[in-house]
Amino acid sequence: MMATGPDADIRAQLLQLVDQLCTELRSQGLDRPVELDSRLEQDLGLDSLSRAELFSRIEQRFGAALPGQTFAEAETPRDLLRALQNASPVAVPPQAAPVTADNGDSVAGLPRHAGTLVEALAWHVEHHPQRTHIHFHRDADDGEQLSYGGLWREACALTAGLQRKGVEAGQKVALMLPTGRDYFISFVAIWLAGATPVPLYPPLGRRQLEDQLQRQAGILDNCQARLLIAPAAAQPLEPLLKARVGGLQALVQPADLAADADQARILPCAPGDIALLQYTSGSTGNPKGVVLSHANLLANIRAAGQALRVDSRDVFVSWLPLYHDMGLIGAWFGSLYHAVRLVSLPPQDFLARPARWLEALHRHRGTLSAAPNFAYELCLQRVPEPLLEGLDLSAWRLALNGAEAVNPATLEAFSRRFERCGLQRTTVFPVYGLAECSVALAFPEPGLEAVIDRVQRAPLMREGIAEPATARDSDTLEFACCGRAIPGHRIRICDDSGRELPQRRQGRIQFRGPSATSGYYRNSEATARLFEGDWLETGDLGYLTANGLHITGRSKDLIIRAGRNLYPEELERAVGEVPGLRRGRVAAFGIDDAGTERLILMAESRTRDERLQEQQRRDAAAAVSALIGEPPDEVVLVPAGILLKTSSGKIRRNDCRERYRRGDYRIRPPWRQKMRLLLTTLKPAGRRLSRRLGQHLFAGWALVTGIPLALIAALALLGLPSVRSRWRALHRITRLWARLTRTPIRVRGLDNLGGGGACVCVANHSSYLDAFVLLAALPEPLAFVAKAELQEAKLLRPLLDRLGIRYVNRRDPEQGLLDARDASEHLKQGARMLFFPEGTFEDSAGLLPFHTGAFVCAAESGTPVVPIAIRGTRPILRGDSWYAYHGALDLVIGAPISGDPGKATWEQALALRDRARAHILRHCGEPDLAGSSGSLEST
């Protein structure tokens, strides 16, 4: 039975809106009528931009604001109808009073001495834990707020969960969460666990399932992710991801990690530690993870804050996704450091209704915000006129426009349209940055209007000279000025030979400074291409003027045709204006052809009618001819959804070029994508099976060779007459086992033990294999100092005694003191003793605090300390396991360290401990779990 009344009227109007939009997108109309259960994507062909247009029309027709979540999740008009029935009305800005957060006065001081972002957060937690850090914007109410202290507490609970899942210091944990509270908390939790976060682009629609999974699997494999934190909707991908990514242990939700915050073990990090792997947009086959340390990020945040004159009274309003550097580093980390209140909107809320961004700026009195150029275009196209009445943007100090090509026309149009809302012309702010420089590289001077440079087209195209245009010149190009390098950084323009060019000469943009990455993670080839001496390549072209830097395009995207430089962005904008072609879905690229390049335009068409498409090809060619004086070599029209974009919204021209080479312009149905994905998992699964088989064979061989050699070693210990002869026998047996298993043992600094006199050797302890590597590396005997519990091992005790092991009681303080004094006496008599000052080892990587017993013995007896760093034993033999993996062993013996006789025994012991620990920490290849001065003050 048909519904009647208001609901039926809403349903009819909604279906009419959808049908009208589909008719516009397809000139010949749909094959069948739009129904409530028609699928927006598969049946009607509505992609994200088409959805944004539909949501805008729904808002205007019904005066209702659909939730941003609907933008991502709605699959049919029925879903839209259900959301519409529960939607809140669009609020006219004057009715929404500005929100004020109880932050108190501005912050006195900043964490200027912090060496890491964790330390910066801890500083804020210590000084003002209740201060609002993040304000989650909502249409209907004030939204939730998260304080610095709240962020720390909730992150600690997830840190405990990560550690319960086996996450260790230095491991990589990938984040594939939507922008929201869970993301902020999970990110900090990874830091507190000593691990490295790896932000990933969240899953796309089913039509791009294959492309998305290929991209993420490549990244997960490259970064060697231990864990992937993702929403429940991603759970079905777990088997495929684990099949493609060998080291991935599990795919978990934040709720799966909830644990007792008191159980979290906060692991310290150093300024040089990797704080983030930021994967750049690009090829799926060769992922480029930009390595950014805490020092890099803090240098960038501090320099950007100085250039933008940021202080704690600012309010940063951001809808930018947190998987992208502009949103993650520029918006969040910058706000965190400078105690700026961050107002956060989910990206889908903005895409569904761009006016939300401006309303949030109005309500929260936002002073700072940033977005790519397309966001400002959306505001020009999709913010209705009635909403401008009463909209107050006068507090907006800087509207940063970056992350993609800045269109000078957009800057002017945005300033002009929103000037009536109090927007100052000095607010629009073209900027330049890149992930390889953390995020920010060049800013104009705040308080000045944007500078647009108008140059003659012909000299720039033919000679790379940015000749200023006059009023009489009609064939011109315009480029926005992005200002000068942020403090402490430098920019230069070079030609192909590396020679620096003067002002107004186009060339490769290079930079250097403390924000610069050290390279790409596990990608030495890409890293080598990134550097030219101590300068880094941006991959962009530009020129300098007295005002600063002007970006002209990507060097890899520049099309050189008959000696002329053609800029794809300009060609794409012109073709995008052709009726029936989709703006923002045009790719211009070159194809090599006998020393020049053929100019190819690929565009998404809204029609499938061959006759109409032929007219579109002619119109596109005419638009290009009007721009550069000659037509393109070919115009290729493809269906909607073929031209994919990067996570930052840029057309993936390389992918388009490859599609053109293959002639592949199809959209595969989801079932075929899944089948292809399943087939592509077979090859890596086979490699992984082969690798695991090899591991099992090695472990078996290690046991097969190790057990008989262990029996021979036991007989040697029992049968040979002296400790020296027993040690030398074990030395040869252990080296034989190393040769049989092809385990290289590299020893450096052996001469530091060549004196033959008394010494206290101290070594890190990470595996039962440590004693093995010492026996194999050192030809002359040392007296091991071991825990007294080993005396209770009935089978092992006789063998240890024959090797001259000395025991220290750790359980009985009085006996332990006697044991330590006994050790001191032996040292005075010329003994050479070896201690493991950590006392024990743990399964997780890291150098534990040192007990002081060995160093007190050395100070009391006047004996030098010889530090020995062991590296590689933990990966070969972990914890209590006897399953061995193949690897290499390194042993670095430091120079003897003597105490200062002029100081008290305790002071000498502490100094010896710190110097020995510093040597071991430098060479053992594991993180510091206690800081260089951490200790347990007992024997």
- Contact status, residue 524 vs residue 291, Cβ threshold 8 Å: no
pLDDT tier for residue 936 given thresholds of 50, 70 and 90: very low
pLDDT digits 0-9 by tens, 46-70: 766 677 778 778 877 887 777 767 7
* Rounded mean pLDDT, 501-520: 95
- Contact status, residue 67 vs residue 59, Cβ threshold 8 Å: no
pLDDT at 7: 72
* Rounded mean pLDDT, 732-750: 92
Dihedral sign (CA 236, 241, 246, 252):
negative
658 Cβ neighbours under 8 A, 6+ residues apart: none
Position 99, amino acid? V
In this structure, what are the phi and psi dihedrals at residue 509, rounded to the nearest 5 degrees? -90, 125
Q: Is 282 left (phi over 0), alpha (psi -120 to 50) or beta?
A: left
- 199 pLDDT higher than 60: yes
Question: From CA 175, how far away is CA 178, in angstroms rounded?
Answer: 9
Q: Which residue is associated with the tokens 């990455």?
A: 517
Q: Which CATH number fits domain 452-554: 3.30.413.10, 3.30.565.10, 2.60.410.10, 2.30.38.10?
A: 2.30.38.10
pLDDT at 152: 97
In this predicted model, which residue has the larger pLDDT, 433 or 885?
A: 433
For the chain, percent of residues with pLDDT exceeding 70: 85
**DSSP codes joined into one string, 739-805:** HHTT--EEEE-GGGGTT-S-EEEEE---STHHHHHHHHH-SS--EEEEEGGGGG-TTTHHHHHHTT-
844 Cβ neighbours under 8 A, 6+ residues apart: 168, 169
pLDDT tier for residue 2 given thresholds of 50, 70 and 90: very low
pLDDT at 3: 45
CATH fold group of domain 565-662: GMP Synthetase; Chain A, domain 3 (3.30.300)
pLDDT digits 0-9 by tens, 425-447: 999 999 999 999 999 999 999 99
pLDDT tier for residue 672 given thresholds of 50, 70 and 90: low
Question: From CA 351, how far away is CA 69, in angstroms rounded?
Answer: 10
Position 710, amino acid? A
pTM > 0.85: yes or no: no
421 Cβ neighbours under 8 A, 6+ residues apart: 358, 388, 391, 392, 393, 394
In this predicted model, which residue has the larger pLDDT, 335 or 640?
A: 335
pLDDT tier for residue 42 given thresholds of 50, 70 and 90: low
- 461 pLDDT higher than 90: no
Looking at residue 468, the DSSP 8-state letter turns out to be B
What is the architecture of the domain spanning 117-364? 3-Layer(aba) Sandwich (3.40)
Write out the two tokens for 438: 């953390």
* Rounded mean pLDDT, 844-848: 78
**DSSP codes joined into one string, 87-123:** PEEPPPGGGSPPP-----SPPSS--TT-SSHHHHHHH
pLDDT at 530: 94
Looking at residue 573, the DSSP 8-state letter turns out to be H
- 486 pLDDT higher than 90: yes
Rounded to the nearest 10 degrees, what angle do helices 6-25 and 77-85 cross at?
A: 140
pLDDT at 334: 97
pLDDT tier for residue 877 given thresholds of 50, 70 and 90: confident
- 847 pLDDT higher than 80: yes
Question: From CA 508, how far away is CA 495, in angstroms rounded?
Answer: 6
pLDDT at 6: 59
- 491 pLDDT higher than 90: yes
pLDDT at 664: 65
Write out the two tokens for 464: 């790379």
Question: From CA 362, how far away is CA 815, in angstroms rounded?
Answer: 72
Question: From CA 343, how far away is CA 98, in angstroms rounded?
Answer: 13
What is the architecture of the domain spanning 694-936? 3-Layer(aba) Sandwich (3.40)
pLDDT tier for residue 895 given thresholds of 50, 70 and 90: very high
- Contact status, residue 631 vs residue 624, Cβ threshold 8 Å: yes
284 Cβ neighbours under 8 A, 6+ residues apart: 211, 214, 215, 218
Minimum mean pLDDT range among 28-42, 661-675, 904-918, 920-934: 661-675
Pairing of strands 484-485, 368-371: unpaired
Buried b (16+ CB within 10 A) or exposed e, 426-458: bbbbbbbbbbbbbbbbbbbeeeeebbbbebbbb
- Contact status, residue 231 vs residue 253, Cβ threshold 8 Å: yes
For the chain, percent of residues with pLDDT exceeding 90: 42
Minimum mean pLDDT range among 15-24, 74-83, 679-688, 718-727: 679-688
- 937 pLDDT higher than 50: no
C-alpha to C-alpha distances, 885 to 169, 656, 862, nearest whole angstrom: 20, 44, 41
For domain 6-90, say whether CATH 3.40.980.10 is its number.
no
Question: From CA 653, how far away is CA 660, in angstroms rounded?
Answer: 10
Domain boundaries, the chain: 6-90, 117-364, 452-554, 565-662, 694-936
- Contact status, residue 481 vs residue 430, Cβ threshold 8 Å: yes
pLDDT at 934: 35
